[in-house]
Amino acid sequence: MPIAGIYVEVNASEEDPLYPLTAVLCESCGLVQLLDVLSPEIYEQYRYSGATSDSYCDYLDHLAAELIGRLGGSGKRVLEVGCNDGYLLTKLKQLGAAQIVGFEPSVHLSSILSSRGIPVIADVFDNRAASRLPFPKADLIVVRHVLEHIENPNDFMVAIHDCLSPDGLVFIEVPDIESIINNHLYAHFYHEHQVYYSASTLAALAKKHLLYCVETQRVPIHGGSVCMIFSKRSVTTCRSAPSDIPQCKRQCIDYATRLFEHYELLKADVVAMLNSGLRVAGYGAAHRSVSACALAGFGTKEVRFLVDKNPLLQGLLIPGSRIPILETSALCEMADVALIFASSFEKEIVGQNSAFVRQGGRFKSIVPTIRYI
């Protein structure tokens, strides 16, 4: 499989690297993780930015207000690990956080943060983190869609514990493996996501490092994510049922079987559209688009181009299939049908591209079933 997240320059001559993508289930605890891991250096070129989606920003606005409310008002110190483009940190500051700082290893994103005046440590978060903070300890640590990228989560959680004040809170949000399987999300496995958590496996990891669950909830972000709040105080107000290992194993095997069947159907569907004279493009060029195109065997013959609102991606090619990434206006000019690879934002995408629909263009969902919207 190509490495999702490593984009290709148009004039690149070298072949795109391919790596095995094998997920395994621990039959002792139920944790799902990849066998083959990549160097953390790949995150220096990380380009994903969720703030290009209105509904995603709405979610972050609501989350910021909720977190500040939990802290008991203003005057608190906030650390975000993997702060991306700084949208959430900025909101937390606006709502009353006294001091903020983020860790962000991406060269592209950390430069954006610096240009916006957002305090950032342009590096990976590791056991040196506590000594690098601009304040003694954090009252709130936010870890959103980061922990699944970490090869050694135990070392990571030790550093989190070291950075947290005695009365502080840790908010962790990760893709939910149960949602991935139950909602038939067939493009949610890729190399950068090295570990796939459920509420029970995440709670077990945190407890091992003396962080105790305060609250658990699931949100629809990225097709289904689990959010948990932890503190150093051993007062358990939420309980996560232990994983049913035999059931998890059956579900994972069934998921893998259905995944390959699904992409055979998708490839046949696209070929049928091409044979009828339709021009096919795709909407979304983030990591799951790379996985979907690779699993379906798509190249530019099947999908002419992808569009994405993220300016950091426009003008590049996705790895493996070498499909070009263009601005969204290209749909009206060069496509009849757009496959929605950014499946978490289908409603928003259709609503924002009414001109394409008015001229006869159609959007097609690819998960959990293949259908016109």
For the chain, what are the domain ranges?
A: 31-242, 266-372
CB half-sphere exposure, 15, CA atoms < 13 A: 4
Judged by phi (left if over 0) then psi (alpha if -120 to 50, else beta), residue 184 lies in left
Span 22-69, pLDDT tens digits: 999 999 999 999 998 887 776 667 777 777 889 999 999 999 999 999
Structure tokens at 355: 């001109």
Quote the pLDDT of residue 241: 64
Quote the pLDDT of residue 74: 74
Structure tokens at 102: 């983020």
What CATH number does the domain located at 266-372 have? 3.40.50.720
CATH topology of domain 31-242: Rossmann fold (3.40.50)
Confidence of residue 220 (pLDDT cuts 50, 70, 90): very high
| Angle between helix 199-208 and helix 153-163 axes, rounded to 10 deg | 60
Identify the CA nearest to 50 among candidates 59, 41, 42.
Answer: 59
Examine domains 31-242 and 266-372 and report if their fold is the same: yes
Q: Where are the beta strands (DSSP E) in 239-326?
A: 280-283, 306-307, 325-326
Supply φ then ψ for residue 234, to 5 degrees. Answer: -80, 70
> Do residues 205 and 228 touch, judged by C-beta distance below 8 A?
no
> 3-class DSSP state for residue 74?
coil
Structure tokens at 146: 């980061």
Residues 277-289, mean pLDDT to the nearest whole number:
96
> Do residues 163 and 142 touch, judged by C-beta distance below 8 A?
no
Residue bearing the bigger pLDDT, 363 or 239? 363
Quote the pLDDT of residue 5: 86
| Amino acid identity for residue 239 in this structure | R
Asked if the model's pLDDT at residue 8 lies above 70, the reply is yes
User: Hunting for tokens 């997920």 — which residue is that?
Assistant: 23
| Amino acid identity for residue 318 in this structure | I
Asked if the model's pLDDT at residue 238 lies above 90, the reply is no
Asked if the model's pLDDT at residue 250 lies above 70, the reply is yes
Q: How far apart are CA 162 and CA 114, in angstroms?
A: 26
Asked if the model's pLDDT at residue 77 lies above 90, the reply is yes
Q: How far apart are CA 65 and CA 171, in angstroms?
A: 13
Quote the pLDDT of residue 236: 59
Span 122-174, pLDDT tens digits: 999 999 999 999 999 999 999 999 999 999 999 999 999 999 999 999 999 99
Quote the pLDDT of residue 112: 87
> Do residues 52 and 312 touch, judged by C-beta distance below 8 A?
no
**pTM of this structure:** 0.93
Round the average pLDDT of the chain to a whole number and report it: 93
Structure tokens at 255: 């998921």
Confidence of residue 280 (pLDDT cuts 50, 70, 90): very high
Structure tokens at 26: 């621990």
Span 321-355, pLDDT tens digits: 999 999 999 999 999 999 999 999 999 999 999 99
Asked if the model's pLDDT at residue 371 lies above 90, the reply is yes
Q: Quick check: bond before 368 cis, omega within 30?
A: yes
